[in-house]
Chains A and B, each alone.
Chain A
Amino acid sequence: MPSDLTDLGRFTEPSIAILVALSDGPKHGYAIMADVQATAGQPLGPGTLYAALGRLEHRGLIEPLPAEDRRRPYRLTGLGATILRTHLHQLDRFVQTGLVRLNGSAASGAGA
């Protein structure tokens, strides 16, 4: 896992969800919360959202755009996209390995 995400501590998972929410274009806070709820199935509170946004912006993974009527959209930076892509590839390998092992275990269990 890239160190740039793991050093986010307990905000790692919300941060990944936010990066995924921004991966198809800029969004403001309310839209990010709705997207995370829809894709991850977990509610994201306003306090957690802005704690994670602050960390991501501080590390240059996202950047703010000009505010529109008190709503400030954020977008993924090049660095943020690279780190998210790497992280998702690693997660994908992890998931595939787990599924292969699980299927192999189930097959050998059925054959025994």
Chain B
Amino acid sequence: MPASQPRPTRISILLRLYPRDWRARYADEFAGLLADTALTPAKVLDIAFGALDARWSADYPSAAGDDRKVRRPMVDRLAALLTAAGGIYFAALMAVILVASPPEDGPAYIAALLVVPVAMAALTLGIAGLSLSRSGGDMVGRALGLVASALAGGITLAILYLFLVGDAGWDALMALFAGFAAVTGLVGLRIALSQRDRLPGAVLLVAGAIATVLWLTAMLPGTGPADVTTLNFGIVTVAWGIVGLLRLRPTRVATAMA
């Protein structure tokens, strides 16, 4: 038995680093172990990493079973937060461009446009995270999520290309966006049809449908493809962001997609 034992308050603080369902299962015996252990800085760090692992992976027995809707490991939550952040970021961009209307060659306009690839990259990672999270489900939904992520990644690269090289490549960007909007609609349809909470699914479905129609109207005379593309990006990206925010249990998105 070690000479110096940690105080109960210190043990209580360390226990609170762990998720609630982990504490429900292990807190008593873990507190007993810590009471018998001299807590060196190395051991405190080890406990902190253990708590992070419990929150990240949720790979332990729980009264909630393996239901990730209830357990909400951090790996699922971060993906949804990233998706929501992408939508919010894009909304900020749209506000700067559409409301403040800075001159097109001014620094504010350039700075706002540079947010686009960042937001799309966040969307790419967020959607990939949602579809890859270990939530079970069928192969079709998982594949749809990965396709949406790949298309969003393609859009990111296409936008970067346009920034760096010039105006060539709008057609490729439009084609990528049409695919992204269509897959977004399909994912929304799956969520709307398969979940009790159908609002986020409906948001995605409607956003995908509107964006696809807008893309088609870009072919009409007198409609600038750049304006329509920007509008499409706004609608779909903010829709993904809204879904990320509405889904206080983001694993439900992953479950529907996966």
The interface of chain A, by Cβ under 8 A from chain B, is 28-30, 33, 45-51, 54-55, 57-58, 67, 69-72
Contacts and interface: CB of A to CB of B under 8 A. Distances in A.
B47 A57 contact: no
A72 B53 contact: no
Interface stretch (B33-41, B92-100, B204-212): B33-41
Question: Which DSSP category, helix, strand, loop or mixed, fits chain B's interface?
Answer: helix
Contact of A54 (B31, B48, B61): B61
Interface in B18-65: 22, 26, 28-37, 42-43, 46-51, 53-54, 59-61
Contacts of B46: 45-48
Contacts of B30: 29, 46, 50
A72 B47 contact: no
A69 B28 CA distance: 10
17 contacts: A28-B29, A28-B33, A29-B30, A29-B33, A45-B43, A45-B47, A46-B37, A46-B47, A48-B50, A51-B54, A54-B59, A55-B59, A57-B61, A58-B60, A69-B32, A70-B31, A71-B33
Interface of B: 22, 26, 28-37, 42-43, 46-51, 53-54, 59-61
With most chain B CB atoms within 10 A of its CB, the pick from A45, A48, A69 is: A45
A57 B60 contact: yes
Nearest to B30: A50
For the complex of A and B, list the 7 residue pairs with the smallest distance between their C-beta atoms, beginning with the closest.
Answer: A47-B50, A54-B60, A45-B46, A70-B32, A47-B47, A47-B46, A29-B33
Contacts of B53: 47, 51
A48 B47 CA distance: 7
Contacts of B61: 54, 57-58
A72 B36 CA distance: 13
Contacts of A55: 59-60
A87 B62 CA distance: 28
A30 B43 contact: no
Contact of A46 (B28, B33, B54, B59): B33
Q: Which of A33, A47, A57 has the most CB of B within 10 A?
A: A47
A72 to B, nearest CB: 4
A33 B37 CA distance: 10
A50 B31 contact: no
A50 B50 contact: yes
Contacts of A29: 29-30, 32-33
A70 B42 CA distance: 24
B60 A30 contact: no
Contacts of A58: 59-61
B4 to A, nearest CB: 15
Nearest to A67: B29
A71 B28 CA distance: 8
A21 to B, nearest CB: 14
B50 A67 contact: no
Given A46-B34, A47-B46, 17 more contacts: A29-B29, A29-B33, A30-B36, A45-B46, A45-B50, A47-B47, A47-B51, A47-B53, A51-B50, A54-B60, A55-B59, A55-B60, A67-B29, A70-B29, A70-B35, A71-B33, A72-B29
Contacts of B42: 45
Nearest to B47: A47
